[in-house]
Structure 1
């Protein structure tokens, strides 16, 4: 039986750190980061939005994203308290987004206790927050690239300068 050659430059975890069958275990988590819990006696699964669903919610959440953008203009990710305050400032839009991701009624969501509501909010942020943070980081990177391009551009004259005649100095 032929032995498989190891590819050079490929970094693998030591065998002791990878349990049998555990390789790639987080792949599903990355692709579909659903979060499940029992909240107020109800089994709830908060899922990441699909493309169309996310696009439909985007206009509703744009003011939240604008505030998140402002917070993230520095190089560091804002703290959970800052993000939670911003979510609270946009609670009507966020409530609708959470209810959509959890497939629950908005009325049920608004009746949750402080602890249950915060638990559900954190499940939603865990499933959908990375998308929003990535969107804002992409916006910041794009803004910076445009600023850099604009700063490097030289102004050009609006029209070419008039042609001038040079005196003929040759003797006839």
Structure 2
């Protein structure tokens, strides 16, 4: 297998199995993707962050400074992000809050790497894509039925509950 084929295969595996093990504060921590029930349970924390990402200009999230812009958006939603990070690494919020800066940043960047697909797919649906509500709904369903693990049925609920869509 050639290197490009190996890279493509590794990328596909990252999509299918995005969970990561890292060392944080001397402990091995598994940072995992939000599960469906967790997305529903934590909708009130996901919705403001998803809306902020949807409002960002495409050039802000795709250029060289995108890491800084994303970090700014995450920091602006500190309470929600800390709660979501805690859920995704099976730790309590106090543990996440008390991490030294380097460990906290490593955990945050890993969490974003594992869960960014959810937010970026949602951003593409509700952001400045020019899609009508109905088209966005069709896209969400089409991507979900094509076994795209980055898009969950929870997105449809977020669209409706956040006021981003009125009909699908």
Alignment RMSD? 2.6
Tell me if the contact between 1:33 and 1:47 (Cα under 8 Å) persists in the aligned partners: yes
Answer 1 or 2: which has greater helix percent: 2
Q: Is 1:137 aligned to 2:124, yes or no?
A: yes
C-alpha separation between the residues in 2 aligned to 1:70 and 1:18? 34
Q: Distance in 2 between matches of 1:42 and 1:18?
A: 34
Question: Residue 3 of structure 2 is aligned with which of 4, 17, 23?
Answer: 17
Q: 1:76-121 deviations in whole A, cap 9, x for unaligned?
A: 6251111101111111010000000011111111110111100000
Q: Which of 49, 70, 79 in structure 2 is aligned with 1:64?
A: 49
Count of residues in Structure 1 that have an aligned counterpart in Structure 2? 131
Runs of 4 or more above 2 Å deviation: 15-19, 21-28, 74-78
Change (3 A) 1:144 1:34: same
Structure 2 partner of 1:96: 83
Contact persistence 2:61–2:69 (CA under 8 A): no
Cα distance in 1 for partners of 2:120, 2:45 equals 16
Query: In the alignment, what sits opposite 2:97?
Result: 110
Q: Say which SS state the counterpart of residue 61 (structure 2) adopts.
A: coil
Mapped pair 1:77 → 2:66: no
Residue equivalent to 1:49:
34
Q: Tell me the alpha carbon deviations over residues 110-156 of structure 1, each in whole angstroms, 9 at most, x when there is no partner.
A: 11011110000001000001110111111136x62329x9xxxxxxx
Structure 1 segments unaligned to the other structure (5+ residues): 1-14, 150-172
